[in-house]
Structure 1
Amino acid sequence: MDIEGLPVPVFCGVDWAEDHHDVAIVNAGGTRLAKLRISDDAAGFAQLTALLAEHGDSNDHPIPVAIETSRGLLVACLRATGRPVFAINPLAVARYRDRHSVARKKSDAIDAAALANILRTDMAVHRPLPMDSELAQAIAVLARAQQDAVWDRIQAHNKLRSQLREFYPAILVAFADKREGICSREARTILAAAPTPTAAARLTRRRLQSLLKQAGRQRGIEAEADRLHEVLHQEYLHQPPQVEDAFGQQTAALLRQLETACTNAGQLETATRETFERHPDAPVISSFPGLGSLTGARVLAEIGDDRTRFTTAGAMKAYAGSAPVTRASGKSCTVMARRVKNQRLAAAGYVWAFASLTASMGARAHYDRRKEAGDRHVAAQRNLFNRFMGMLFHCLQHGERYDEEKAFPNRLEGELVAQAA
C-alpha cells in the first residue's frame, strides 16, 4: 500500500502497557480529536476500532497507528486489519515529547498524543511494519525461538563447564577433543550417571559401554569405553568429600538445565526447518552457498516476504548491518562499521559468510581479496555478507536462484587468464 499517496487527515497513537493502553487521535492540524484508555483484551480492541471508525476509518483509507512496540496481540490484531502500523522506538518518542513541553512532564496520555503527532509531522521518515504472510511470521517465531534456545544452551554449557573446572577436571579431559564437548549426548549421559569424580572412578568398562549405548553410540563402543575408563581413573586433585558431594548436587541441577536447553534447541530446529521448507522463498534462499534450512530460516525471519519492505538493496544491507556508515563533516570523512542494525540478521550473516568460504570458490576469492587489501577477518566476512545481501535482494525480487557465474564473474575471468598463461 502506498501510504504517501493516500489522504490521511487523521492519525492515531497508542501508548501500550501490560493491562491497558492509552489512545490519542489527532487531525492534520495537530488538534487532539479524542483520547481513550482501553483494556488489553477483545473488548478493548473493539473500543479502539469503534473509535477509529467514528473518525473516518475505512477499508479504503485506514487511519495509521503508531505504537512503541512491534509485538503483542494488539499489534497483531491491528496488522490483521490491513492498516499501516508504525513501531516507533521509545527513545525517539522521548525526543518528540520534548518538542511539546520543556517541563519534562510525562503521562501515558501525553505519550499517546506524541505518537500520533509523530505520524502527523514525520510519517514519511518512518517505516510501517511489513505485511508479511502468516507463514513468514510463523517462521520468524520459530527461528527466533530456536536461536534463543541455542544461546540458552551455550549459557548453560558455560555454567556447567565452569562448575566442573572447580572439582571435576576428569570429565573435561575425557571430552576435550570432542566437537560438542560436554554438550554431547555421551558426556551428558556419563555425567548424569557419575556427577562426581569419585563416582566416575567407580565406573567399570561394562558400565561405560552400557552408558555409551544409552547415549546412542553404535560403533567403537569398546574402544571408547576403554579410553574413558583410562581417563577417568587417572590421578586428579580432589575437593574434600562433603564439598565434592555438594558440588555433585549442584552439577546435577546444572546438567538438568543443559538437558532442557539441548532438547529445546533440537526440537525447535526440526520445527524451523520443516516450516521454512514450505515457504515459496525457500528454494531461492537455500540456493545460496552457506545457507542451509536453519540459517536460511533465520534470514527469512528477519527480512520477511513483503517485497515492498525494502525498496533498494542498500536498504536491506543497512538493515542487516553489513553496509558501512559514512560520517563526513568538512574535510573529515570516516567510514566505519554499522552499530545500529538487526542483531539477529547480523549474527546469521556471520555464519552464512563463514560457511560460504568452503561452499563457493567465488566467495573464498572475494574474502581473500579483502584480506589482502588489509581487512581483518570480521571485516572481510562482513564485506562478503554485504555482497550476498545485494544478490539475495535481486534474486528475491526477480524469483531467480543463485548463480555462481553471475555472482563472481571476476573469479572466472581470472581462471581463464591463468589457463591461457
Structure 2
Amino acid sequence: MTAGIDWASTDHACCVVDTNGKVISRFTADHTGAGLKDLTRRLTKVQATQVAIERGDGPLVEALLSAGLTVVVISPNQVKHLRSRYGSAGNKDDRFDAFVLADTLRTDRARLRPLTPDSPATVTLRSTVRARRDLVAHRVAVCNQLRAHLQTVFPGAVGLFADLDSAISLAFLTRFDCQDRADWLSERRLAAWLAGAGYSGRTTPAALLARLNNAPRGATGPEGTARAHITRAMLAVLTNLAEQIKTLEAQISEQLALHADAQVFTSLPRSGTVRAARLLGEIGDCRARFPDPAALACLAGVAPSTRQSGKHKSVAFRWAVNKQLRDAVCDFAADSRRANPWAAKLYADAIARGKDHPHATRILARAWLYVIWHCWQDGVAYDPAKHKALQTLLKQDQQAVA
C-alpha cells in the first residue's frame, strides 16, 4: 500500500492505493496533535508503509517518521506536471492531488528517494542560521527606510559615517535626531562626544563637522521635532534588530562548535563562523542524500540544466533548486577567491571566457562542491596541502618565477 498526503495549514487530505492503483481509503486529518496521531494510526491500520508528500519538514513529517513510515518528497512542481497523467483539465483539488502523490509513489518508487532526516543538531543549526538571515534582510530594509527618511529631514546624517546602521551612526542619531540638535555642535563639542562614544574611526572631528555643514539643511522647528519622532522609532527598530542578530550569532557559534562536522566547514578558506554554519546547515549531515558530488551540485543550482531534442541542445540556468543552499554556496565561493589561488584562477578564467560575475561564481561554486563533498563524506577538514589542483597551480607559479 502507498499513501499520498496533500499538505495544508489546517487539515491534510490523504489517499491510500493498493498495488493496482485502486483507492483503498480516503480521509482528511486535522492539523492538530490528535489529528496527526489519528492519521498515522489509520495509515498503519491499512498497512500503508510508504507516504508521498510535497514538503520534507514540519510537524506532519515528524509525526510520519516517528510512526516508522517511509516518507518520500515529491515537489509541487512535479505534482503540477503529474496531474496531466490522469486528465487534461489540470484542475487543482486536494483529494485529487493526494491520489496523484500516492499513485506516483506506487508506479515510480524505484526512481524516488526516501527522505532521510538530518540530526537534531543540524536541524537546529539550520533554523538558527535562516532566522539570522531573515533578520539581516529586515535590518537592510529598515536601514533603507531610515536612509530615505533622513534624505528629506536630516541629509547631513546620511553620509556622516561609513555605514548608516553602524554602532557609531546609530549612537549619533540617537543623540542628534534632527537638524536643530546638530546645529548645536561645534568642532570641540563633536570631538568630546566622539571620545565619549568610543569612536575609533580615522576621520577627524573637523572633517565630520564639515560633512554636516556642507550637506543640505534638514527640517527645523516644529516640523523637525515632529519628524524626529519617526527617526527615533526607526532607530529603535534598527537597534533591536542589531541586538537580536548578535544574539543569534552567539547561538550559531555555540551550536557550530558542538557539531560533529564543524571542522569540515570551518576549515574552508574565508568560511568564518556564520558562513560555515550556513553551509553545514543547508548541506546537512545525511551522507546518503548525496551519493555523488553531481547530486549536491544539482540541488545547489550551480550545475546547468541541459535539454536535448533531436539535433537541438541547449544549456540553461537551473531553476528548480534549493535556493537557500545555492545562496550559501555562492556566497562562500565568491569570497574564497580572495584567499585561495586555485579559486581565484577558476573565477578569472570564467570571466575571461565572457561570463558575468554570477555565472562565474556558480562555476567556482560547482568546483568547490566537489572538494567539499569529498571532505564531507570522509569527515575530514580541508587541507590545502592535499588539494592537488591547488598544489599544481602553486608549483606552476613557482616554476614561472624561477
Q: Considering the TM-score relative to the shorter chain, is it more than 0.5? A: yes
Q: Tell me which residue corresponds to 1:114.
A: 100
* 1:373 equivalenced with 2:373 (yes/no): no
- What amino acid is aligned across from residue 340 of structure 1 in structure 2? A
* 1:12 equivalenced with 2:3 (yes/no): yes
**Where do 1:4-403 residues align within 5 Å?**
10-56=1-47, 63-104=49-90, 106-175=92-161, 178=162, 181-203=163-185, 208=190, 212=194, 217=198, 219=200, 225-234=205-214, 236-239=216-219, 241-403=221-383
- What amino acid is aligned across from residue 158 of structure 1 in structure 2? N
For the residues of structure 2 that align with 1:220 and 1:104, how far apart are their CA atoms? 62
Q: 1:299 and 1:101, CA in 2 relative to 1: closer, same or farther beyond 3 A?
A: same
Deviates more, 1:105-114 or 1:270-279: 105-114
SS in 2 for 1:21: strand
- What amino acid is aligned across from residue 289 of structure 1 in structure 2? P
Deviation at 1:68, TM superposition (A): 2.4
For the residues of structure 2 that align with 1:243 and 1:218, how far apart are their CA atoms? 30
Deviation at 1:69, TM superposition (A): 2.4
SS in 1 for 2:15: strand
Deviates more, 1:251-260 or 1:318-327: 251-260
Name structure 2 gaps, 5 residues minimum.
none
For the residues of structure 1 that align with 2:234 and 2:71, how far apart are their CA atoms? 43
Name structure 1 gaps, 5 residues minimum.
1-9, 58-62
Equivalences, count: 400
- What amino acid is aligned across from residue 147 of structure 1 in structure 2? R
Deviation at 1:204, TM superposition (A): 5.7
Deviates more, 1:11-20 or 1:387-396: 11-20
For the residues of structure 2 that align with 1:19 and 1:211, how far apart are their CA atoms? 56
- What amino acid is aligned across from residue 101 of structure 2 in structure 1? L
SS in 2 for 1:202: coil
For the residues of structure 2 that align with 1:70 and 1:246, how far apart are their CA atoms? 50
Residue deviations 1:162-199 (CA, integer Å, cap 9, x gap): 22122321001211xx2xx1110111111122222222
Identity, % of aligned positions = 32
Deviates more, 1:258-267 or 1:181-190: 258-267
For the residues of structure 1 that align with 2:8 and 2:280, how far apart are their CA atoms? 30
Deviates more, 1:307-316 or 1:243-252: 243-252
- What amino acid is aligned across from residue 237 of structure 2 in structure 1? Q
Q: 1:329 and 1:235, CA in 2 relative to 1: closer, same or farther beyond 3 A?
A: closer
Residue deviations 1:137-163 (CA, integer Å, cap 9, x gap): 111111111111111111111121122
For the residues of structure 2 that align with 1:106 and 1:336, how far apart are their CA atoms? 29
Q: 1:205 and 1:76, CA in 2 relative to 1: closer, same or farther beyond 3 A?
A: farther
For the residues of structure 1 that align with 2:199 and 2:90, how far apart are their CA atoms? 68
For the residues of structure 2 that align with 1:149 and 1:50, how far apart are their CA atoms? 39
Asked if 2 retains the 8 angstrom alpha-carbon contact of 1:189 and 1:211, the reply is no
- What amino acid is aligned across from residue 41 of structure 1 in structure 2? T
For the residues of structure 1 that align with 2:257 and 2:14, how far apart are their CA atoms? 40
Deviation at 1:389, TM superposition (A): 0.4
For the residues of structure 2 that align with 1:404 and 1:205, how far apart are their CA atoms? 52
For the residues of structure 1 that align with 2:352 and 2:92, how far apart are their CA atoms? 54
Deviation at 1:118, TM superposition (A): 2.1
Deviation at 1:79, TM superposition (A): 2.9
Deviation at 1:103, TM superposition (A): 4.7
The 4+ residue runs of structure 1 with deviation greater than 6 A are: none
Q: 1:406 and 1:335, CA in 2 relative to 1: closer, same or farther beyond 3 A?
A: farther
- Report the RMSD for the aligned CA atoms in angstroms: 2.6
Asked if 2 retains the 8 angstrom alpha-carbon contact of 1:325 and 1:338, the reply is yes
- What amino acid is aligned across from residue 8 of structure 2 in structure 1? A
Residue deviations 1:23-74 (CA, integer Å, cap 9, x gap): 21111111111122222122112211211221225xxxxx121222233211
- What amino acid is aligned across from residue 50 of structure 1 in structure 2? R
Residue deviations 1:263-289 (CA, integer Å, cap 9, x gap): 222211121121012111110111111
SS in 1 for 2:307: strand
- What amino acid is aligned across from residue 13 of structure 1 in structure 2? G
Asked if 2 retains the 8 angstrom alpha-carbon contact of 1:277 and 1:293, the reply is no
For the residues of structure 2 that align with 1:219 and 1:143, how far apart are their CA atoms? 30
For the residues of structure 2 that align with 1:22 and 1:220, how far apart are their CA atoms? 61
Q: Tell me which residue corresponds to 2:392.
A: 410
Q: 1:378 and 1:95, CA in 2 relative to 1: closer, same or farther beyond 3 A?
A: closer
SS in 1 for 2:258: coil
Residue deviations 1:186-225 (CA, integer Å, cap 9, x gap): 111111222222222224667656754675x26579x755
For the residues of structure 1 that align with 2:123 and 2:9, how far apart are their CA atoms? 23
Asked if 1 retains the 8 angstrom alpha-carbon contact of 2:306 and 2:316, the reply is yes
Task: Please report the TM-score for the alignment, with normalisation by the length of structure 1.
Answer: 0.86
Q: Tell me which residue corresponds to 1:5.
A: none
